[in-house]
Amino acid sequence: MAGKAGEIRIENEALRSLVRTIFKAAGSNDRECAIVADHLVEANLRGHDSHGVGMLPAYIANALSGECRLDAAPSVATDLGQLLILEADRGLGQTMAHDAVAMAIDRAEAQGSCIMSLRNSHHIGRIGHWSEQCVRAGMVSIHFVNVISTPAVAPFGGPSARVGTNPISIGLPRPGKNPFIVDFATSRLAVGKIRVAYNKGVDVPEGVLLDGHGEPTTNPAALFEEPLGALRTFGEHKGWTLSFACDLLAGALAGGSTQKGPKSRDAIINNMFSIVVSPEAMGTAASYAREIEAYAEWVTRPPEGRAPSVLLPGEPELATRADRLAKGIPVDTNTWEQVLAAGESVKLSRDAMRSMAGVA
Ligand code: NAD
């Protein structure tokens, strides 16, 4: 498929097949290949290229260096039924979070709710993916995540990076309709979006970045070239205090770790604190379903004579998904080169990968 200059377009199934093939060559079993391909390509489909196949090169490099474990399963650290703490020990995050969330859903189906902590996982990607897993089972869920990597975000009022982009997601199922998915980093933008801008050679909006001297900049190199700068939190002190809560809930409470210093290893570690609740078990499923529909209609209803202009959480991603399923997934040529190089590092040929992706 043809894309804009500096960009190619790859069809959904072809891209999934390529991701599966690269992970298979790296040593993942078929189940893990399917889980990670679904995760990365869904992120691209939903417009979050920061968490799509652009993450594959880091995952493969970390798997080859032993920083990320393939074909692993989370182990149970604490199990009190509705309270579950799981240890991932740097297992591939897509498998770790998939299996951990599946266990939390099982508990919530049996007992009405589950508080689940997953600690020391390799990067778990787009957090909305885990909310979507919960809403498919009819569950409401809340996820607080912290990031242990090179600090990338300045606390509000501070000039330099101290913490991660610490994301939050909330999933709300809607019987018979598309769910509401709230899913964002507590920084103004996700690091991956700065990486995409850096790879494309374009500026980021004002107000997002500080340079290595603590001064505002729009140059994405601030996160990738010395002297390293920092992302700012969204909403001034509000994003910062939510980020702070993510580190303590996801990192401290379940025995993982908070971000306290420079990165000590190449792996990007996530800890996740999740609450999964069944509206059925609460006995409110019918009134919940009625109430959210009435609310959604009210908040989006335009004043007389005005066109609709309010979107609900999750709607932008679904619009992008429909568009990309029809037109192909755009991948910038720098990212594409990095994906090909990752495939070569596990002994795949460029020609075979290009042909699998339908790229000339
Ligand atoms: P973002 O700023 O694009 O916000 C996305 C959220 O806002 C979604 O819920 C979306 O539906 C909603 N939204 C967007 N525009 C809207 C509008 N006009 N009206 C109503 N709702 C709207 O997201 P982000 O902060 O750039 O984060 C991108 C991704 O990065 C997320 O999936 C996040 O989970 C992921 N992330 C992961 C990590 C990690 O370590 N694993 C760290 C940071 C971010």
Measured from the CB, is residue 165 less than 6 Å from ligand 1?
yes
Measured from the CB, is residue 182 less than 6 Å from ligand 1?
yes
| Cα 122 from chain centroid (whole Å) | 12
Going by alpha carbons, the residue nearest to atom 1 of ligand 1 is 184
Measured from the CB, is residue 183 less than 6 Å from ligand 1?
yes
Measured from the CB, is residue 128 less than 6 Å from ligand 1?
yes
Residue 111's alpha-carbon distances to 60, 69, 169, in angstroms, are 38, 32, 22
Token representation of residue 321:
């998904």
Q: Set out the domains of the chain in order of their start, with CATH numbers.
A: 1-71+328-360 (1.10.1530.10), 73-187+235-280 (3.30.1370.60), 188-232 (3.30.60.50)
Using the atom order of ligand 1, give the atom closest to the CA of residue 183: 9
* Closest of 131, 133, 198, 138 to residue 170, by C-alpha: 131
Do 19 and 357 contact (CB within 8 A), yes or no? no
- CA distance linking residue 156 with residue 357, whole number of Å: 43
- CA distance linking residue 171 with residue 136, whole number of Å: 10
- CA distance linking residue 190 with residue 280, whole number of Å: 35
Measured from the CB, is residue 126 less than 6 Å from ligand 1?
yes
Using the atom order of ligand 1, give the atom closest to the CA of residue 315: 11
| Element spanning 148, H or E | strand 140-148
- CA distance linking residue 345 with residue 42, whole number of Å: 24
* Backbone CA torsion sign across 290, 315, 322, 16: negative
- CA distance linking residue 321 with residue 338, whole number of Å: 24
Measured from the CB, is residue 247 less than 6 Å from ligand 1?
no
Going by alpha carbons, the residue nearest to atom 35 of ligand 1 is 126
pLDDT tens series, the chain, 360 aa: 555 658 999 999 999 999 999 999 999 999 999 999 999 999 999 999 999 999 999 999 999 999 999 999 999 999 999 999 999 999 999 999 999 999 999 999 999 999 999 999 999 999 999 999 999 999 999 999 999 998 999 999 999 999 999 999 999 999 999 999 999 999 999 888 898 899 889 999 999 999 999 999 999 999 999 999 999 999 999 999 999 999 999 999 988 899 988 776 678 999 999 999 999 999 999 999 999 999 999 999 999 999 999 999 999 999 999 999 999 999 999 999 999 999 999 999 999 999 999 998
User: What pTM does this model have?
Assistant: 0.96
As a three-state string, the secondary structure of 19-66 is HHHHHHHHCCCHHHHHHHHHHHHHHHHCCCHHHCHHHHHHHHHHHHHC
Residue entry with tokens 């097949």: 17
What is the best residue among 184, 191, 300, 310 to mutate for testing ligand 1's pocket, by most ligand atoms within 8 Å of CB? Answer: 184
Query: Exposed, middle or buried by CB within 10 Å (0-12, 13-18, 19+), for 239?
Result: buried
Measured from the CB, is residue 316 less than 6 Å from ligand 1?
yes
Query: Exposed, middle or buried by CB within 10 Å (0-12, 13-18, 19+), for 183?
Result: buried
Measured from the CB, is residue 311 less than 6 Å from ligand 1?
yes
What is the best residue among 68, 183, 309, 318 to mutate for testing ligand 1's pocket, by most ligand atoms within 8 Å of CB? Answer: 183
- CA distance linking residue 321 with residue 235, whole number of Å: 28
Measured from the CB, is residue 22 less than 6 Å from ligand 1?
no
Going by alpha carbons, the residue nearest to atom 9 of ligand 1 is 182
Q: What is the dihedral of CA 350, 356, 358, 359, to 10 degrees?
A: -10
What helix, strand, coil percent values describe the chain, rounded to 5? 45, 20, 35
Measured from the CB, is residue 207 less than 6 Å from ligand 1?
no
Measured from the CB, is residue 49 less than 6 Å from ligand 1?
no
DSSP 3-state assignment of 205? Answer: coil
